[in-house]
Amino acid sequence: MKVIEDAVKEGRKTLSEHESKLVLRHYGIPVAKEVLIKSRDELPHAIAQIGYPLVIKGCAPEIIHKTEEGLIITNIKNEDEVYTAFDKVYEKVKDTPKGAVLVQEMVDGKRELMVGMIRDEQFGVAVMFGLGGIFTEILKDVSFRVAPLSKADAFYMLKEIRANKILNSVRGMPAVNLDKLAELIVNVGKLGLENKEIKELDINPIIISGENPVVVDALIVLK
Amino acid sequence: MKNKKFFENMKRLFNPESVAVIGASNKFDKLGFHVMKSLTTGGYKGKIIPVNPSAKEIMGIKAYPSISAYSGSIDLAIIAVPARFVFQIFDECHEKDVGGVVLITAGFREIEDPEGAKNQEILKQKADSYGIPVIGPNTFGMINFWHNLNASFTPEFSLTKKGDIALVSQSGGMSHLLSFLSQRHNVGYSKIVGIGNRLNVDFYEMILFLKDDPHTKVIALYIEGIDNPMPMIRAIKDMHKSKPVVAYKTGSSKSSNLASKSHTGSMAGRYEIYIGALRQAGAIVVNTAEELMDTAKALSQSSIPDGNRVAVLSGQAGPGIAASDMAERVGLELPPFTEKTQKRINELLPPMAIRTNPVDMGPAWYDASATREIIDVAMRDENIDAVILLIMYASANIKAVEGIKEMLLEWKQRKPIITCISAPAGIWDKEVSFLEENKALTNYPSPERAAQALGNLWEYKKILLRG
């Protein structure tokens, strides 16, 4: 894929969030709606496309941990908030190479999951599924499989985590569409097998919106 | 990969008509002494050829200064001499057309000196080009119980019961432990193989070999970590439906890659990927040495349940509750009995007892026929896929096992009968082993282990079902 080839040519080790999501989109993985802008002038157009409430994020290949650096402002509801948020985030990223701002739809949902991929020197492409957001590293409740994955393999991963009940209908939330989630996992394996330049991939979080998984953040690390 | 001659030689290695012990000795402080003892006391029926440059005979058997000095053919050479002599011995083995080697000698890849790894590579090239399979180096050896062959330095391996589980282990210590535990718990093996530092016989080659081994029904693996695990994973995938594979992988503690940039990278230790890949291939993954043994025993001795619905029948309430808790934890269910079964149990037990599943048969202790019939109707219940039966000895119920023996022998685990029948040493041992040998039940030392073993049988059923 061009976005990967370009990054490799530039000698980069990571793709930006936006670039990473372009790769995911190419593999049919459902990604939150977003527009990448580089100036205040582009904001009205972006707002028109995304609509409120929305999220403003700093975006650049070198930016990996956005939350820690205050580069994510969520639940923006009106014009006043959006300009303030843009200025605040843009100020922090404007001197970063390829620094830009992502205007992203606010995906509503309480359940956060993650899917990842790592190229292991012994096993090849390994795909991971687990709880997302802040729970990923705290609980380490994850399951691995080696690509290529069958849909049945992916279903097994969903069942294998200790917190698998989170996928059921809980507290008034509908049951997660397991078929779509399994398909996402299978496609991550495929993506890993077909793009040898990718060393690691994080899709975290995947927010369950209604019953459907939507990728909200992603990071691709190159070899 | 390995050629046909290599696998033909694997058969000679495990079923030799003649065994040379290179480094055989009359001195207790030499490993060659213990290897000789294993062969001679283990009941090996073939020809033993001790090789020692200075002794005329070893343990009363005529010795030779080298294998070349012996005129007959040699199927297996067990080597227990210092590493520096091994190159030349390999060449002699080739000239002598030896079928296979057990290389007990240490001092190759595992040592800090890089010479060790270099020497192992040279040795591997020799063995591969000669088509000689080598178990080891740095191994205790191997035992083929169906050939009365104890080709190890521990004669007591031969005290382990002959059976249909093949244990392939990367650790000598773990093999010894499992053998001794199995001796106490009546678990039988077809082979125990310490693959050591895996010159050219790794898990992959062993699984391929065991696939066609008529004496092996279940394969138990103890894995620490190998250089190229995918051939093993594919071999498991190819055969797990004909012969179940139980795998215990250790090394979870030092796994995570802290330098990684991504969350996935920091979470993805080798251990986690191993577990995922093993499960994906259809192995039953276990977490302790005991669970490895218990699960292999269940697969060897019991039938596979059609479903996960279990009846817990206990002579005493406490063990029944413990087994029920564990059963639920491992994915089993305790459904209500059919009306017909429940009605009969209600007739057999006084109302003071818990008569629904899990059943407390306590109040029927004085009445062997009531106990027998409760077990019988529960086994036949269409809502039930397996029975967990728990009987703790008390002086007054000494006849309990005798009372259910005939029925269990007749039933023969058409549905699994997983038990914890426990008594002081010497009281029910004979009855229980007799029932186990006739595959009438599968016994465990605790209610929890019984339930866990049944949980793993159900796990295997699910693996078989997933197509």
Distance in Å from the first CA to the final CA of chain A: 15
Cβ <8 Å between A221 and B268: no
Does the residue A20 lie in any domain?
Answer: no
Q: Which two tokens stand for residue B304?
A: 């596979």
Indicate the residue of A14, A144, A221 with minimum beta-carbon distance to B275: A144
List of chain A residues whose C-beta atoms are within 8 Å of the C-beta of residue B233: 123, 146
Does the residue A6 lie in any domain?
Answer: no
The CATH 3.40.50.261 domain(s) of chain B lie at 306-465
pLDDT at residue number A135: 83
Q: Among residues A106, A123, A143, which one ends one of the domains?
A: A106
| CATH number of the domain bearing residue A145 | 3.30.470.20
pLDDT tens digits, A130-140: 999 888 878 88
The CATH 3.40.50.720 domain(s) of chain B lie at 4-299
Name the architecture of domain B4-299.
Answer: 3-Layer(aba) Sandwich (3.40)
Give me the mean pLDDT over the B111-136 stretch. 94
B→A contacts (Cβ < 8 Å), by residue, are: 227-230, 233, 260-268, 270, 272-273, 275-277, 279-280, 466-467
| CA distances to A21, B115, B132 from B123, in Å | 50, 12, 11
Of B253 and A120, more confident: A120
* Least Cα separation, residue A8 to chain B (angstroms): 17
Does the residue A192 lie in any domain?
Answer: yes
Does the residue A200 lie in any domain?
Answer: yes
- Kindly state whether A128 is in contact with chain B, defined as any CB-CB distance less than 8 angstroms: yes
Cβ <8 Å between A122 and B270: yes
Q: Calculate Rg over the CA atoms of chain B.
A: 25
The model's confidence at residue B257, banded by pLDDT at 50, 70 and 90, is: low
- DSSP letter at B111 equals S
Does the residue A120 lie in any domain?
Answer: yes
**B397: number of Cβ within 10 Å:** 20
pLDDT tens digits, B213-240: 999 999 999 999 888 999 999 999 999 9
List of chain A residues whose C-beta atoms are within 8 Å of the C-beta of residue B263: 114, 116, 136-137, 202, 204
Residues A41 and A61 placed together within one structural domain of the fold: yes
pLDDT at residue number A216: 96
- Kindly state whether A16 is in contact with chain B, defined as any CB-CB distance less than 8 angstroms: no
The model's confidence at residue B467, banded by pLDDT at 50, 70 and 90, is: low
Residues A131 and A218 placed together within one structural domain of the fold: yes
Asked if A157 and A186 count as a contact pair (C-beta separation under 8 A), the reply is no
Q: What is the mean pLDDT of chain B?
A: 94
Domain count, chain A: 2
Residues A129 and A203 placed together within one structural domain of the fold: yes
pLDDT at residue number B267: 66
Residues A131 and A155 placed together within one structural domain of the fold: yes
Structural domain range at position A136: 112-222
Asked if B278 and B463 count as a contact pair (C-beta separation under 8 A), the reply is no
Q: Among residues A106, A141, A164, which one ends one of the domains?
A: A106
Does the residue A141 lie in any domain?
Answer: yes
pLDDT tens digits, B269-325: 788 999 999 999 999 999 999 999 999 999 999 999 999 999 999 999 999 999 999
Cβ <8 Å between A126 and B265: no
pLDDT at residue number A77: 95
| Cis peptide leading into residue B114 (ω within 30°) | no
Give me the mean pLDDT over the B18-37 stretch. 97
Indicate the residue of A64, A128, A143 with minimum beta-carbon distance to B264: A128
Give me the mean pLDDT over the B455-464 stretch. 97
List of chain B residues whose C-beta atoms are within 8 Å of the C-beta of residue A202: 262-264
Q: How far apart are CA B432 and CA B444, in angstroms?
A: 10
Does the residue A18 lie in any domain?
Answer: no
Is the confidence at residue B354, as pLDDT, over 70? Answer: yes
Is the confidence at residue B254, as pLDDT, over 90? Answer: no
pLDDT tens digits, B432-453: 999 999 999 999 999 999 999 9
Question: Torsion over CA of A72, A73, A75 and A81, rounded to 10 degrees?
Answer: -150
Asked if B84 and B90 count as a contact pair (C-beta separation under 8 A), the reply is no
Residues A188 and A101 placed together within one structural domain of the fold: no
Of B364 and B306, more confident: B306
pLDDT tens digits, A67-105: 777 899 999 999 999 999 999 999 999 998 899 999 999
Closest CA to B195 of B277, B101, B300: B101
* Least Cα separation, residue A199 to chain B (angstroms): 9
Residues A133 and A85 placed together within one structural domain of the fold: no
pLDDT at residue number B265: 67
Q: How far apart are CA B139 and CA B103, in angstroms?
A: 7
Residue position matching structure tokens 């190819």: B238
pLDDT at residue number B430: 95
Is the confidence at residue A51, as pLDDT, over 60? Answer: yes
Q: Which two tokens stand for residue B390?
A: 């728990």
**A contact test, residue of B252, B257, B264, B308 with most A CBs within 10 A:** B264
| Cis peptide leading into residue B137 (ω within 30°) | yes
pLDDT at residue number A69: 76
Domain B306-465 grouped into CATH 3.40.50.261: yes
pLDDT at residue number B263: 67
pLDDT at residue number B1: 53
Residues A178 and A78 placed together within one structural domain of the fold: no
pLDDT at residue number B259: 55
